Amino acid sequence: MSLTLPIILILGLLSGLTPLAVDAYLPSIPSIAKDLNIDISLVQMTLSLYLMVFAFLQILFGPISDAIGRRKVVVGGLSVFAIGSFICALSPNYDALMVGRAIQALGGAAVAVCIPALVKDGLSINEFAKAMSMIMLVMALAPLAAPILGGAILTLFSWHSIFTFLGILALLAIVLFWIKIPETLAKEKRTPFSLWGAIRNYGILIKNPTVLGYIAAGAFFFSGMMSFITGSSFVYIELYQVDPSHFGFLVGVNVITMMIASTINSRVVDKLGTEVLCKYASFIPLAASLFMLILCLFDKPPLPLIMLASMLFVGPMGILSSGFMAGALKNAGNNNGSVTALAGTSRFALGAFSGAMVSLFHNGSFVPMLATMASCGLLSFIIFKLTVKYSQ
């Protein structure tokens, strides 16, 4: 498959569905809690539910995509995502919202696991890292625009309309994907699906310390970002009294830095290699993590300092996310779907756990969010350095 601009844009849209599903409703979390007459921590748990379902079902869809191809799994996933979105839009109570979010996550998992796999089909590691950086550059528009869009929809309509928009977007994505994206996994390269075979493949991957190290480093780094997503709406809107319509612009600063990092990665990865880029980029979230721990010592630091720490943490994702994935794929053989599924499951499972920790230790301050982010950042850095040392 030739990665033309239209294909990159479509894959970026597909990759952005989950960021949209997560970020677009962040400004509405206080409104949902008020409308459904529940505590704000329960609304935050709908985010953790989405991430947990999204995470663990990737384990299933990875081997399925290796068996039947990428296209069928993606189209089926988009259809289910749309159904879940419309259920959320029509939900009259908290239980219905939880059901809709779970169905939404089921479809999102099927889509997400196929994107890196279909990009990797036929590409070298550096080509893969470059392609994923370009896709992430497009995908980054989702978390940048989502809170702004969500805030605008919330101002003009209600939180239900945010989910209606997500459902319509998924239906549009089905049409674009079916028209433009060919099947990338040839029939002779497919592996018949069996539960035992999938378990055996995952066992082989887990026993490979280099693969496991890259996956774990990426998972902890990603979970730090998810801690920010879980806690940021409370910290910004409730604690610092930021207007919901302005919330997206403040969060968008993080995404802009991530887009800059993705641009740098796509331009220099052929020259330097993904391992060298990750080596240097990993020090930035390390510094951000230490800065966050210092901020936790203060009662209520200025909001710009919290924004700076978050920006330095999230920004390097444009380099580290594709770099860690490339490192795992390089050492894992040909089961691209299984590798990306294991990586995706690990990232979102830890992301759901860290988000749940932010909600569980919610105490009316910024400390649970920053402390969780810092812990994840430090663990990611340590694991990455140990993995590089072991693989040499």
Instruction: State the CB neighbour count (10 A cutoff) for residue 391.
Output: 15
pLDDT at 83: 96
Cβ atoms of residues 309 and 292 within 8 Å: yes
In eight-state DSSP terms, residue 184 is: -
Amino acid of residue 314: V
Domain coordinates of the chain in residue numbers? 5-180+193-391
Cα distance between residue 102 and residue 97, in whole Å: 9
Q: Does domain 5-180+193-391 have CATH number 3.30.565.10?
A: no
Cβ atoms of residues 163 and 153 within 8 Å: no
Instruction: State the CB neighbour count (10 A cutoff) for residue 243.
Output: 12
Q: pLDDT tens for the chain, 392 residues: list them.
A: 566 778 888 888 888 888 888 878 778 888 888 888 888 878 878 887 887 888 888 888 888 888 888 889 999 999 999 999 999 999 889 999 999 999 999 999 999 888 888 887 767 767 777 777 777 777 767 766 777 788 888 888 888 899 999 999 999 999 999 998 888 777 877 778 777 878 888 888 888 889 899 999 999 998 998 888 888 888 888 888 888 778 777 877 887 888 888 888 878 877 877 788 888 889 999 999 999 889 888 888 898 998 999 999 988 887 888 888 888 888 776 667 778 888 888 887 888 788 888 888 878 888 888 899 899 999 999 999 999 888 76
Give pTM, 2 decimals: 0.77
Instruction: State the CB neighbour count (10 A cutoff) for residue 52.
Output: 20
Cα distance between residue 367 and residue 113, in whole Å: 33
Question: What's the 3-state SS for 212-241?
Answer: HHHHHHHHHHHHHHHHHHHHHHHHHHHHCC
pLDDT at 101: 94
Cα distance between residue 292 and residue 223, in whole Å: 15
Instruction: State the CB neighbour count (10 A cutoff) for residue 175.
Output: 10
Q: Pull the structure tokens for residue 71.
A: 């296209």
Cβ atoms of residues 103 and 232 within 8 Å: no
Rg, C-alpha atoms of the chain:
20
Q: Pull the structure tokens for residue 7.
A: 């294909």
pLDDT at 375: 92
Amino acid of residue 291: F
Cα distance between residue 46 and residue 52, in whole Å: 10
The residues, any chain, with a CB within 8 Å of residue 285's CB and separated by 6 or more, are 221, 224, 312, 313, 316, 320, 377, 380, 381
